[in-house]
Amino acid sequence: MVDVNNRVSVNPNREYWLEMAVEGLSGIFKGAGLKLPSVKVSCGFASSGLRSKHIGECWTRLSNADGINQIYISPTLDDPIFVLETLTHELCHAIDDCQHKHGREFRVIAEAVGLEGPMRSTNAGPGLRPLLKSVLTQIGPYPHAKLVKEEKNVKASVRPKAKCKICGFEVTMIKKYLSFGPPICPKDNLKMEAIGDWKISGD
């Protein structure tokens, strides 16, 4: 999909783009002495459903009839580098067939390819980020429009929440902590947006 001027043509669909992303990322894993298993990648919600906070999910080989790991990338993501970061994280799970969740064994794999931070919400370290940008240059823009979840009657019926405008991470607040304001997103290190009724009793 790359022409002589290194300008990328439009990919047919997002699943094809994700497949090309896996192919591009395989070189990063190979450079870390790791071999990727066969995987299938789709854009879709995690098993916990539409309102899930998960932005990616990897299923074990035994959970699929064809014995191949299935990875889902949330349709709420549209930033291509963030998608590649998330995909890299899920590919780390695929390597050990999701056997160690985010434990020590997973950390060894994740850090080997350049992921850092809390293992439940890793991000690309300074060595990995330029490699992801290189992969993006090869495969082109992510052909997907972000799916925005509708917030219906939030103020009237939903407990106060905080949501990150960048990654979509969302938490339900406890009333006694409302006076402190919205927390900081653990992924993007930015103050989250207040959603719902944040009125403190007695105000």
Phi/psi for 128 (5° steps) reads: -85, -35
d(CA 175, CA 186): 20
Q: Is residue 77 part of a domain?
A: yes
Dihedral angle of Cα 155, 159, 165, 166, to the nearest 10 degrees? -150
List the one residue out of 161, 164, 203, 158 whose CA is nearest residue 187: 164
Judgement on whether residues 135 and 158 belong to the same structural domain of the protein: no
Give yes or no for residue 123 having a pLDDT over 60: yes
In a domain? residue 7: no
Q: CA-CA-CA-CA torsion for 58, 81, 150, 72, nearest 10 degrees?
A: -20
- In the chain, how many H helices and how many E strands? 5, 8
Q: Which of 98, 113, 139 is the last residue of a domain?
A: 139
In a domain, 2, yes or no: no
Model confidence at 194, pLDDT cuts 50, 70, 90, reads confident
What digits encode the pLDDT tens for the residues 72-95? 999 999 999 999 999 999 999 999
Q: Determine the average pLDDT of the residues in 130-156.
A: 83
CATH number at residue 107: 3.30.2010
Write down the pLDDT at residue 156: 47
Name the DSSP class of 11. P
The range of the structural domain enclosing residue 171 comes to: 154-195
Neighbours of 45 (CB within 10 A): 18
* CA 124 – CA 84 distance, rounded (Å): 9
* 20 and 117 both lie in a single domain: yes
Same domain, 167 and 128: no
Residues 93 and 127 in one domain: yes
